[in-house]
Amino acid sequence: MMSNAQVLPDLNDVVTRPYWDAAKQGKLVMQRCSECGHLRWTPQEECPECLTLGGEWTELSGRGTIWSFVVYRRALNADFPDVPYTVVQVELEEGPVMAARLLNEPEKARIDAPVHVVFTKVTDDVTLPNFQLG
């Protein structure tokens, strides 16, 4: 399903590397601010609420609901020729909204449908979190 992912995340980025290391181990993690407790997405050096540097990488449930979704029927990027594919934004139980592929057929996607994270190994180094219905 994800074998067409030609564009892989930059693993030399020290800020985001812990996220990809965790994904490789089958864990979905985000940074929780040690000062105010805010759970942030996407990764960055400081908390966007109180601007405190750092934060604890925290494992999440991987469960949520579909906030919205789109289906690429035409390839708009030569690196992703295998249409159709479905991109979802998922509102996680813990609050943040993140994007990934939905691995079910496009026709089954519905806003508010419950989903859970699954981990798709793309290369020896890169595993992408994706979602499945249920």
Partner 1 sequence: MTAPGKRLAIVATGHTAQGEHPGRSAGSLQAEAIKIALGNAKLRKEQIDGLITCKQLHGDGSDDQVVPRVGMHNLRYTQTLDYGTCNFSLHQAQMALEAGVADLIAISYGTNQRTNRYQFGAGANSGPAAFTTPYGWTHIAGQAAMALRRWQHVYGLTEEQFGHIAVSQRAWAQRNPQAIFKQSLTMEEYLAQPMMVDPMRRADVTMISDGGVSYIVTTEEKAYDYTDKPIIMAGWAEAGASSSFYGENFMRPWLKRPGQEIWERSGIDRADVDVVYVQDPTAVWPLQMLSYYGFAEPGDIGAWLAEGHTYPGGDVPVNTNGGQLSEAYMWGWLHVVEAVRQLRGEADAERQVKDAKIALYASTMAWNKGGASVLVRGE
Binding site residues, partner 1, CB under 8 A: 4-5, 7-10, 13, 16, 41-42, 48, 67-74, 76-80, 84-85, 87, 89, 91, 96-101, 106, 111, 122, 126, 128, 130
At residue 19, what are phi and psi to the nearest 5 degrees? -65, -45
Q: How many CB atoms lie within 10 A of CB 56?
A: 12
Residue 54 C-beta: closest distance to partner 1, Å: 18
- What is the β-pairing status of strands 56-59 and 63-72? unpaired
Q: How far is the CB of 43 from partner 1 (least distance, A)?
A: 8
Least CB distance to partner 1 at residue 80 (A): 4
Decide the pairing of beta strands 56-59 and 127-133.
Answer: unpaired
Nearest residue (CB) to partner 1, 26 versus 95: 95
Task: Supply the DSSP symbol for 34.
Answer: T
